[in-house]
Amino acid sequence: MPVADAAAALVALARPVAPVSLGPAAALGAVVAGDLTVEAGQPEDRTALRDGWAVRAADSVGASPSAPVRLVAPPLWVESGETLPPGTDALLPPEALGADPRMMAALGADPRMTAALGADPREIETEAAAGEGTRAPGAEIPAGTRILAAGERVGALHGLALAAGFGRVAVRRPHWRLLAATPDTLSPVLHAWINARGGSAESGARPAEIDTLAAAMRAPGADALVVIGGTGPGRRDGSAAALAQAGRLHAHGIALRPGETAGFGEAAGRPVLLLPGRPDAALAAWLALGRPLLDALAGAAPDVPVRLPLTRKVASAIGLTEVVFLRRVPAGAEPLGGAEIPLHRLARADVALLVPPAHEGYPAGTPVEVLPL
């Protein structure tokens, strides 16, 4: 089956999972289930952006070391992030009172205590503009601001805004069950990739017997299943037969290099992806089929394409989608290999290229769309 047809058929088996409510930190990497729009502007009151003396800016006009301005009352010390006292709208720097700023801050401009410093706590030597050193109400996050649209992923910097305006966030986090033969070196990689794209995963051993594996495919508790290994023509390779017994085998054999023996289907109403056991083939099949399925289950919007120029030419066979693993370098993307790539080269890859079946490859210098790993 051509890769494009296989990916479309596999995605057609998926429905976005039900949203869960998480705190902003726990939602990192997950796909939001709906638009996240701030209703009330932040901050609610004017706050300090740094440490300093809170004043009314109009009272400080003309203040300088040579011509201090005397206030009616001593200014109040405010720490960064605190709300300004009523009637103030600006912050003077710590040294604005003309004495040791740390000592003055510690004494809180108390006239009885600061006299010994030789300074009048009511006299300021610095002029402040209205709003200086502060954030106005609603200026950090204006009311009505959309932080994320439905289908977008929660990034690390989004967490700053979400923590300020949202106690909980509704996200879709598909849960996967990985059934792998032992010894298993692929599950940790898939765990990392699934978690990075907002899902979660659990691992289990792939039973050797077809009947037992079919029962494991029907077991509840996951939104999708991945079976690693047992997809080839070997005498002990029974993953495809087990899926046919557990539910329905839609395809076994994909026009993908590496990853020709991959397959997919459904069991107990959930999509099941069959990956080859060889690392390069399994990872290539995951990129071509598993990643689109994960995005469909999460209701994710399409990724913004990443394009890099090739540092060397890439050759590909007509009729197959070929996965080429690459490493980002200052000049672009350096091809490391595709089918039968050894582990010491595969371990250096950080992006991958899917060459369409109608292409024979690309010459050096061609900008190509790559998938970050």
Residue 122 DSSP label: T
H/E stretch holding 283: helix 279-285
Q: What is the DSSP string of 193-213?
A: HHHHTT-EEEEEE--SSHHHH
**pLDDT confidence of residue 106:** 59
**Residue 182 carries which DSSP code?**
S
Closest CA to 134 of 43, 53, 46, 45: 46
Domain 3-17+173-298 has CATH 3.20.10.10: no
Question: Alpha-carbon torsion 84, 85, 91, 94, what sign?
Answer: negative
How many Cα atoms are found within 13 Å in the side-chain-facing hemisphere of 265? 24
Cα distance between residue 39 and residue 106, in whole Å: 38
CB-CB neighbours of 314 under 10 Å = 21
- pLDDT, residue 6, reads 97
Q: Is the Cβ–Cβ distance between 245 and 201 less than 8 Å? A: no
Q: How many CB atoms lie within 10 A of CB 110?
A: 12
DSSP 19-78: PEEE-TTTTTTPEESS-EE-SS-B-SS-EESSSEEEE-GGGGTT-BTTB-EE-SSPPEEE
CA dist 134 → 38, 62, 85, 190, 250 (Å): 21, 20, 12, 46, 61
Nearest 5°: phi and psi at 224? -160, 155
Is CATH 2.170.190 the classification given to domain 47-135? yes
What are the residue boundaries of the structural domains of the chain, listed by start? 3-17+173-298, 47-135, 306-372
User: What's the length of the chain?
Assistant: 373
Q: What is the dihedral of CA 264, 268, 270, 272, to 10 degrees?
A: -30
Res 115: pLDDT = 47
pLDDT at 307: 97
pLDDT of 112 reads: 47
Decide if 244 contacts 263 (C-beta within 8 A).
Answer: no
Collapsing DSSP to helix, strand or coil, 342 comes out as: coil
Amino acid at position 357, single letter: P
**Rounded-to-integer distance, Cα 289 and Cα 284, Å:** 9
* pTM recorded for the entire structure: 0.84
**Alpha-carbon torsion angle 124, 126, 127, 128, nearest 10:** -100
pLDDT tens over the chain, length 373 residues: 999 999 999 999 999 999 999 998 889 999 999 999 988 888 999 999 999 999 999 999 999 988 999 888 888 889 999 999 999 999 999 888 865 555 555 555 554 445 445 566 788 889 999 999 999 999 988 999 999 999 999 998 888 888 877 888 999 999 999 999 867 889 999 999 999 999 999 999 999 899 999 999 999 999 999 999 999 888 778 999 999 999 999 999 999 999 999 999 999 999 999 999 999 999 999 999 999 999 999 999 999 999 999 999 999 989 999 999 999 999 999 999 988 899 999 999 999 999 999 999 999 999 999 999 9
pLDDT for 177: 97
Residue with tokens 């794209």: 197
pLDDT for residue 294: 97
The tokens for 14 are 């998926």
Q: For the domain made up of 306-372, give the CATH fold.
A: Beta-clip (2.40.340)
DSSP codes of every residue in 112-159: HHHGGGT--TTEE-----TTTTEE-TTTSB-TT-EEE-TT-B--TTHH
